[in-house]
Amino acid sequence: MGVAPPPPALRRWFRHAIALAVFVLMLYLSDRILRFLSGCRPEAQSCTPEGPLPFKAWHESGPLAAPGWKEPPCLGPQGMLGRIRRSFGASLKPEGDVELSQYLAGWRELVRFLTPLGSIFAFATSEAFIKVTALEARVLGPDAAHYTSLATMAAWERRVGLLEQPGTAPRDSAQASGSRTLLLLHRALRWSQLCLHRVATGTLGGPDAGVQCGDAYRTALAPHHPWLIRQAARLAFLALPSRDRLLELACPAAGEADARAALAGAAGTLEQVYNRTEDLLAGQGLLQLA
Ligand SMILES: *[C@@H]1O[C@H](CO)[C@@H](O)[C@H](O)[C@H]1NC(C)=O
């Protein structure tokens, strides 16, 4: 932890923390109540009252590139995972920079994809959505010429003195520098990437998605969150849908093997973008900005 924040900042922090915690708790409880009303035991890991999922076991399914294999719809032009991959992929500029408009377009697709997956995603993405909108306002605003890429943004914000002092928080998030907003999105991207990768590659009989995404949260985000949020998040991960359900939501109308491969591919693209962004932020000395 850094220096203790002054009292007004502490009060503001506390108000935010409580509001968020109550929000997460409500999402968690509403999820439980819905499960109960739909005839599922609240403690059931996987709840599919309409019958077993049409998935075969992971290793029973044939190889991905078998003759006659068709790309699942989730990777096609209208498919969510395909759209995430294309937008984020396009943000990786050949000269090693990250193009902000494509990065944000990728985030919009990611938010659309994650929101229906469960209350913890809805919580995380509502936070991310605010940041995406704030950064977009800069990318499209009067200083748009300086917000084409991560490198141009960081150089310009440093030159004109927009960067926060390390350890200080801006008065409200809409006034945060673009670099700081990007850093917060960057950490959330890491969590999404780790969580989706683990959902895609987890073994049968191994820890379920809630446990794996909770672990990813502890790695990527918890060190940056206050205690109250961490407790609320811990509860929300208990209500995460099962792996089968997540795979079905991620890649509808595909077999389990195809859904896993498609999700792993999307997580791989997120990892490329994460790695690139991490290197650039580290090179600019911006990883300590928040
Ligand atoms: C990202 O970076 C890590 C650590 O440097 C590396 O192990 C991994 O292969 C990289 N992933 C991609 C997709 O480039």
Question: How much distance in Å is there from the Cα of 29 to the middle of ligand 1?
Answer: 38
Atom 1 of ligand 1, residue of closest alpha carbon: 275
Residues with CB under 6 A from ligand 1: 268, 271-272, 275
Q: Kindly compute the dihedral angle of the four CA atoms of residues 283, 198, 116, 16, in this order, to the nearest 10 degrees.
A: -50
**Which atom number of ligand 1 is nearest to the Cα of residue 271?**
13
Other C-beta atoms lying within 10 Å of the C-beta of residue 58: 15
Quote the CATH superfamily of domain 67-283. Glycolipid transfer protein (1.10.3520.10)
If one residue of 85, 92, 194, 275 were mutated to test the ligand 1 pocket, choosing by the most ligand atoms within 8 A of its CB, it would be 275
pLDDT of 18 reads 56
Whole-Å CA distances, 238 to 83, 84, 174, 215: 29, 26, 32, 12
**Which atom number of ligand 1 is nearest to the Cα of residue 268?**
13
Q: Where are the domains of the chain?
A: 67-283
pLDDT of 83 reads 97
pLDDT of 8 reads 57
pLDDT of 65 reads 55
- Per-residue pLDDT tens, the chain, 290 aa: give them: 444 555 555 555 555 655 565 555 555 555 444 444 343 343 433 333 333 333 333 333 444 556 677 889 999 999 999 999 999 999 999 999 999 999 999 999 999 999 888 887 887 788 899 999 999 999 999 999 999 999 999 999 999 999 998 777 787 777 899 999 999 999 999 999 999 999 999 998 889 999 999 999 999 999 998 998 899 888 888 888 999 999 999 999 999 999 999 999 999 999 999 999 999 999 999 999 88
Cβ–Cβ under 8 Å, residues 80 and 112: yes
Atom 5 of ligand 1, residue of closest alpha carbon: 275
Close Cβ partners of 68 (under 8 Å, ≥ 6 residues apart)? none
Give the rounded distance of the alpha carbon of 217 from its chain centre: 10
Question: How much distance in Å is there from the Cα of 274 to the middle of ligand 1?
Answer: 9
Atom 14 of ligand 1, residue of closest alpha carbon: 272
